Structure 1
Amino acid sequence: MTIAKAGFGGGCHWCTEGVFQSLRGVSQVDQGFVQSDAPADTWAEGVVVTFDPKVIQLETLSEVHLRTHSATRARSPRGKYRSAIYLFDDHQRLEAERAIASFADQSGKPVHTLVIPFRSFKASDERFQNYYRTDPSRPFCRLYIDPKLDLIRQHFSELALPGAAAPQAIEGGERA
């Protein structure tokens, strides 16, 4: 298996984590805070996604990301919810930029998602890790994450993991 990494920030990292955990080819999603170079050097909510580019390419991950958060809403690059694709390798830039250009063409709106280098990551508190997977019945999950997972099943069905929209929480907070 080939391994690659990329970071994504947009809205709440609980939502972003749940979105990427629902996709084939993603082997790990680390939720927390991501940092880049100035002016995006403040910590912003985000995830680091470990994936197999032979199963799912960065361009597709980027498209999923753009469709599941407010990529067309302007934000301060210093804000807590910076819309960004964080590159681990400069060769990733073309795929990320191609996804943004395609999304902008389809939506007819300017996209405010930055394509910037990944510099640092710090995990969020353990109690928030795997937020959706540990209790998908939470009101926050039903209101904000479920619609994003519905979008994945509708537009990216070939990449959605079976049961991705409603995993059952089990004792101890882990999923079978």
Structure 2
Amino acid sequence: MQQIGFGGSCHWCTEAIFRSLRGVQKVDQGWIASDGGHTQPSEAVIVHFDENEIDLRTLIAIHLYTHSCTSTHSMRGKYRSAVYTFDKEQNKFAKAAIRKLQADFGELIITEVLPFVTFKLNDENYLDYYYKDPSKPFCQNIVNPKLSALLARFEKYIAPEYREQLARL
């Protein structure tokens, strides 16, 4: 089992996206801190995945395509666009993957590749936020469009147990 951290938008959105994928065994949702010059933790997830079912390059591509990876805005401190790596090899791989994916985007990808340092899990009542009640207004208005983008571009990676639900979006 491998793990990688992702931040970029609300952790409820990011959690729902990665939880919907085959090969992802678990998604921890909360805040990640890094020693990459950022003293404040930002909303993020840790994705635990089976590399025999879904590879790291695909996960990085999904991350870039499902949040504003080219956009700087006033909330970037809270919603840092980042890939949090757990070792030097993973860090090097993530940087190379983003460089290759840059050709797919019209603007510069601002997503940073940062070493993981600490993680704080969110309160239990906010975990699995989307799948506990997808009818909530936030889920309908904010999460669903991101899941629709996931489905449109990465349909073959959707876990079978979520296909029918996501197909109704």
Counterpart of 1:69 in structure 2 is: 67
Cα 1:77–1:145, aligned 2, differ >3 Å: closer, same or farther?
A: closer
Name the CA distance, whole Å, in 2 between partners of 1:50 and 1:143: 27
Does 2:85 correspond to 1:87?
yes
Name the CA distance, whole Å, in 2 between partners of 1:166 and 1:120: 36
Name the CA distance, whole Å, in 1 between partners of 2:76 and 2:136: 30
Cα 1:76–1:112, aligned 2, differ >3 Å: closer, same or farther?
A: farther
Q: Secondary structure of the residue that 1:157 maps to in structure 2? A: helix
Which amino acid in the other structure matches residue 5 of structure 2? Answer: G
- Does the 8 Å CA contact 2:91/2:115 hold for their aligned counterparts? no
What TM-score do you get using the length of structure 1 for normalisation?
0.87
Q: Secondary structure of the residue that 2:157 maps to in structure 1? A: coil
Which amino acid in the other structure matches residue 89 of structure 1? Answer: D
String of CA shifts for 1:103-151, please: whole Å, max 9, x gaps.
3211121011000100000011111100001000111111111122122
What TM-score do you get using the length of structure 2 for normalisation?
0.90
Count of paired positions: 166
Structure 2 counterparts to residues 100-111 of structure 1, below 5 A: 100-111=98-109
- Does the 8 Å CA contact 1:27/1:50 hold for their aligned counterparts? yes
String of CA shifts for 1:136-173, please: whole Å, max 9, x gaps.
011111111112212222211111013536759xxxxx
Which amino acid in the other structure matches residue 137 of structure 1? Answer: S
Larger helix proportion, structure 1 or 2?
A: 2
Name the CA distance, whole Å, in 2 between partners of 1:40 and 1:56: 29
Match of 1:15 among 13, 16, 37: 13
Q: Which runs of 5+ in 2 are unaligned?
A: none
Counterpart of 1:174 in structure 2 is: none
Identity value in percent: 45
| C-alpha RMSD of the superposition | 2.0
Which amino acid in the other structure matches residue 128 of structure 2? Answer: N
Counterpart of 2:4 in structure 1 is: 6
Q: Which runs of 5+ in 1 are unaligned?
A: 169-176
